Amino acid sequence: MLHRIAAAAAVAVVATVAFAAAQTAALNDAQIAHVAYTAGQIDVAAGKLALSKSTNPTVTAFANDMVRDHTAVNDQALALVKKLNVTPQDNDTSKALTKAAAEKTTQLSALSGAAFDAAYIANEVAYHKTVNGALQSTLIPAAQNAELKALLSTGLKIFQGHQAHAEMLAGTIK
């Protein structure tokens, strides 16, 4: 149990450091779009990993929700940047998120059974807390385009639901 909590805390710290880069550097809308899309892709990949490794129906149902919802929001983001004729710009925050996700995927991939399920759900709690905090305090306020701001705000509402769901599951997945 202590190992799982330490692992979740480590992920939260890494993700927080990645999002801190967004707070210290003024991001433009193209960079914000890239950060948001990258964060969504990371959770889609985590959900797909859970679908390939877990046999727990509760965990796989949650993972299916993550894949479906984050894919849908990312599809909307891609449609918006196409409509606005904007090319998302890679940046230090996106790169840090990608690097942290690769490290976490390696850790999760080494686990199986109940240990994987617990670590995956703990990661989802920590990740959604961090992403939701960054959306609320940094990315949404910094977005200049009203449509981008609206999409990020809609995503935040969905992802807050994910966080609450993950927190509920964390209490039942041992």
pLDDT tens digits for range 97-122: 999 999 999 999 999 999 999 999 99
Asked whether residue 21 carries a pLDDT value surpassing 60, the answer given is no
Give the pLDDT mean for 27-49.
Answer: 96
Q: Which residues contact 115 (CB under 8 A, 6 or more apart)?
A: 4
> Based on the structure, what is the number of domains in the chain?
1
CATH number of the domain enclosing 96: 1.20.1260.10
Confidence of residue 26 (pLDDT cuts 50, 70, 90): confident
Give the pLDDT mean for 137-162.
Answer: 95
Whether 115 and 3 have beta carbons less than 8 Å apart is answered as no
pLDDT at 115: 97
pLDDT at 157: 96
Asked whether residue 1 carries a pLDDT value surpassing 70, the answer given is no
C-alpha span between 67 and 64 (Å, rounded) = 5
pTM for the model: 0.86
Domain of 119, in residue numbers: 2-170
pLDDT at 9: 42
pLDDT at 19: 52
C-alpha span between 30 and 82 (Å, rounded) = 11
